[in-house]
Amino acid sequence: MTDLLVVGSGFFGLTVADRCARELGLQVQVIDRRPHIGGNAYSAAEPTTGIEVHQYGAHLFHTSNQRVWEYARRFTSFTSYQHRVFTTYRGEVFSMPINLGTINQYNRSAFTPDEARAWVAEQAAKLTGEPSNLEEKAISLIGEPLYEAFIKGYTAKQWQTDPRELSADIISRLPVRYTYDNRYFSDTFEGLPTDGYTAWLERMADHPNITVTLDTDFFDTSQPFNKANVVGQVPVLYTGPVDRYFDFAHGDLSWRTLDFETEVLPTGDFQGAPVMNYADEDVPYTRIHEFRHFHPERDYPDDATVIMREFSRFADHADEPYYPVNTAQDRERLLAYRELAKGERDVVFGGRLGTYQYLDMHMAIGSALSTYDNKLAPFFSSGQALD
C-alpha cells in the first residue's frame, strides 16, 4: 500500500519522502523519469579517472539556514571547500565577482577601497536618464568599463541575446566588493559532500519505507504510477514542470537550458581552478568546470583531468529546463497554473519545476521541510485538507 507518491527524486522530493517515511512511518513511492536519482544534483565518477562529475553543472552547497545545515548533515558530512571563480577576458585572467583586485588589475592601479568606489561611481554617473534595457541598467550600476569587460559578453552568451534587447529588470544589482575578498558565497555554511552528491542522495532514500523506481514517467500511461491512475486515489507530491502537468493548457513557461561538453585530458591540471568563466563574446562557451579542484583532498590521478564546457540557450519541450526565463507572459501563465493546481485534489506542487522558480539546493530542502510541516504532516496526522 502506497501512502504517498512522490514524482521526482531531486532534493525536494527526497526530503519530503524522508520526512514522511522516517517521521510518520508512511510507505512512500518515489518515481523519476531519469535513469538515476537526485535530479540535477546527481553526480557520478568519470570511469577512467574516478573524478566526480556533476552531470548537470557544478553544484556548490552553501546555506545560512541552520535547520537546513543540520538536516543535510544527517546524511553527509561536508568538506571545507570554499567556492571561488575566475574569468578570462581578452587573454587575461581576473578574479570574480568584481572586487578590489579585479578593479585594480583592470586599471593597472593600486586604488584604495574609497578610490575604487569613486572611480566606479564616476563611470556609472556617465549614464544619465532612466535605463531602458539591461545594458544601460548595468552601466548605471557599475559603469561602462567593468560592464564591457565582465558582464556584456557573458550575459549575451547566457541569454543568446544582445543585452540592449534584454529587459532592465533582469538585474537589480551587480555585486562589486571593495575588498580583496573573492569568496563567491557569503553564507554561514559552505562545503561539498565528502562522499559526493549521489551518496548523500542515496542515503536520504535508503529506508525500508521508501521505494524508488527510476525510468518511470508520471505521464506514461503504461506504468502503474501514472497521473490518470493515481490522482484522487493516492496523495501526490509533484516536483515536475507545472505546465507539463496541465498539458500546457495555458501555454509553455519558458526556460533556459545548458549544453555540456565533457572531456578527459592527459594533464594533471588544466586551469588551476574549479571554474573559469569566459567573458569574451567570441568564445562560444560561458565557462569551463574542472572537477578535480572541487575535491583537492581526494586522491585523484595526477596525469589526467576532467573538464566540462558549458553552453547556454533557450529550451524547448525536448530539453531539460534549468533556469526560468520569467518574462511578463511567464508570470501571467504561472498564475493561471497556480489556480489549476489549487483545484487538483490531494496533489501538492513543489520544487524548482513544480513552482517555476530557481531554487538552490538549500532552498529546495528548506522549502520541502516547510511543505512537510505545513501541508503533509497535518494532512497525514490530523486529516487536514491537502491544500
Q: List residues with catalytic annotation.
A: 173, 177, 256, 287, 310, 358, 360
Give dist(CA 58, CA 258) in Å, integer: 12
Residue 97, interface with ligand FAD (CB under 6 A)? no
Distance of alpha carbon 344 from alpha carbon 352, whole angstroms: 19
Which range touches ligand FAD (CB under 6 A), out of 20-28, 170-178, 189-197, 359-367? 359-367
The CA-atom distances, in angstroms, between 150 and each of 74, 138, 139, 170, 196 are: 40, 11, 11, 16, 32
Q: How far apart are CB 343 and ligand FAD at their closest, in Å?
A: 20
Span 216-255, contacts to ligand FAD by CB under 6 A = 217-219, 239-240
CB under 6 A: which stretch of 11-19, 145-153, 207-215, 301-309 binds ligand FAD? 11-19
Nearest distance, CB of residue 12 and ligand FAD, angstroms: 3
> Among residues 82 and 104, whose Cβ is nearest to ligand FAD?
82
Work out how close the CB of 125 gets to ligand FAD at its nearest, in angstroms, rounded to a whole number: 35
Task: Fill in the per-residue mask, 184 to 203: x = in contact with Na ion (CB under 5 A), - = not in contact.
Answer: --------------------
Q: CB under 6 A: which stretch of 1-9, 99-107, 130-138, 262-270 binds ligand FAD?
A: 1-9
Burial 71-109 (b: 16+ CB within 10 A, else e): bbeebbebbebebbbbbbbeeeebbbbbbbbbbbebeee
- The minimum distance between CB 145 and Na ion, in angstroms, equals 51
Instruction: Sketch the per residue contact string, 310 through 349, with Na ion: x for CB under 5 A, - otherwise.
Output: ----------------------------------x--x--
User: Which residue has 574569468 as its cell numbers?
Assistant: 87
Residue 33 interacts with which of ligand FAD, Na ion, none, CB < 5 to 8 Å by class? ligand FAD
Query: Phi and psi for 323 in degrees, rounded to 5?
Result: -120, 125
Closest by CA position to 216, among listed 43, 56, 353, 35: 35
Long-range contacts of 139-142 (CB under 8 A, 24+ apart): 141/171, 141/173, 141/174, 142/98, 142/174, 142/176
Quick check: 187 binds ligand FAD (CB under 6 A)? Answer: no
Contacts of 185 (CB under 8 A, 6+ apart): 60, 62, 82, 83
Q: Sign of the CA dihedral 264, 270, 273, 278?
A: negative
Closer to Na ion by CB, 148 or 344: give it.
344
Q: Which of 6, 20, 32, 156 is close enough to bind ligand FAD by CB under 6 A?
A: 32
Q: Please count the other Cβ atoms lying within 10 Å of the Cβ belonging to residue 52.
A: 23
Give the shortest CB-7-to-ligand FAD separation in angstroms: 5
10 Å Cβ neighbour count for 13? Answer: 31
- Give contact residues for ligand FAD (rule: CB under 6 A): 7-13, 31-34, 39-41, 56-61, 217-219, 239-240, 258, 322, 351-353, 359-362, 364
- Give contact residues for Na ion (rule: CB under 5 A): 344, 347, 387
